[in-house]
Amino acid sequence: MALTYRMYRTHRIGTGGLIPDLKEPGALRSDPYRSALDDYISTDGTGQTFWDWVHDARPIRYALVLCESTKHDVLAADARIVPVSPQFTDLPAMHAWLDTEVALDVALLNRLENDGCSAAWVTGSTTRRQLIRYLMHVHVISQDARRVKVAELLSFLTQNLDTRLGDLPTTVRQRVRTWIEAKGLTTTQFNNNSTVREVLHYLRENVDWPTLHLGPLVI
């Protein structure tokens, strides 16, 4: 059976620490963070695989999966794994889908909003590629926050997009301000009524983000 591509939003599984090893009473084993897709997709010589983006502040991932069509049906039946796109027989077909307008894809827009990725900037001519690229950059922002190892930054990225800065602890606001200024950007335009959405959009629009890939897919 031919392999096909599909994009998914998945839960993160694993504790990121040690858990009891059921095979050896009294022993512990590593339980790393991973995608729910790991329960279904493994390197088994058939070419089936997946590539994903890690969001370091939220227990979610977005992934591109290459597997047999029947297995896609199994994935979609798991409540932890939500399809984001149709199935595609090849990458050119997926690229064509990415370059179509996203305005009427309400389910995708709502999903990303709930995952901390603003869709307020979307217009009638915005493409799925532009929206998913925006999502990828939000994930990169979270990875940068984890890299500098400041818990307040990760806490900021878990907030509802419409949370006002004035409703956040002073330590969080100050850490976010320092983080932004360290990137050579100003923060004078923000006040207590500014929202998390506005800060993230400002970062996304003003930092020089690299071209990103999802496996063989250039976004």
Per-residue pLDDT reduced to its tens digit, 122-150: 998 999 999 999 999 999 999 988 888 88
Same domain assignment for residues 150 and 203: yes
Query: Does residue 209 belong to any structural domain of this protein?
Result: yes
Residue 176 lies in a domain: yes
Query: So what's the pLDDT on residue 210?
Result: 79
pLDDT of residue 19: 74
Residue at 219 is within a domain: no
**Which pLDDT does position 43 carry in this prediction?**
65
Q: Are residues 94 and 123 in the same domain?
A: no
pLDDT band at 117 (very low <50, low <70, confident <90, very high): very high
* Domain identity same for 25 and 88: yes
46 and 110 together in one domain: no
Say whether both 9 and 91 belong to one domain: yes
Segment 81-98, tens digit of pLDDT: 999 999 999 999 999 999
Are 45 and 128 contained in the same domain?
A: no
Encoding tokens for residue 156?
């900021």
Last residue of a domain, one of 98, 113, 146: 98
Do 133 and 219 contact (CB within 8 A), yes or no? Answer: yes
| pLDDT at site 124 | 86
- DSSP per-residue letters across the chain: --EEEEEEEEEEES-SEEEE-TTSTT-EEEE--EEGGGGT----SSS-EEEEEE-SSSSEEEEEEEEEHHHHHHHHTSTTEEE-S--BSSHHHHHHHHTSB-TT-HHHHHHHHHTT---TT--TT-BHHHHHHHHHHHHHHHHHHHHTT-HHHHHHTTS-TT-BGGGS-HHHHHHHHHHHHHTT---TT--TT-BHHHHHHHHHHHS-PPP-EETTEE-
Average pLDDT, the chain: 90
Q: Is the pLDDT of residue 161 over 90?
A: yes
**How many folded domains does the chain comprise?**
2
Shared domain for 112 and 122, answered yes or no, is yes
Which range, of 36-40, 44-48, 80-84, averages the lowest pLDDT? Answer: 44-48
109 and 4 assigned to the same domain = no
Task: Show which of 67, 98, 129 is a domain's final residue.
Answer: 98
Residue 111 has pLDDT above 90, yes or no: no
Band (pLDDT 50/70/90 cuts) for residue 63 is very high
| Residue 42 confidence (pLDDT) | 78
In a shared domain, residues 109 and 88: no
Last residue of a domain, one of 98, 118, 146: 98
pLDDT at 18 over 80: no
Looking at the structure, do residues 44 and 142 belong to the same domain, yes or no? no
Q: Quote the domain boundaries for residue 153.
A: 100-214
More confident residue, 16 or 79: 79
User: Do 94 and 169 belong to one domain?
Assistant: no
pLDDT in tens, 171-209: 999 999 999 999 899 999 999 999 999 999 999 999 888
Residues 54 and 141 in one domain: no
Q: Is residue 84 part of a domain?
A: yes
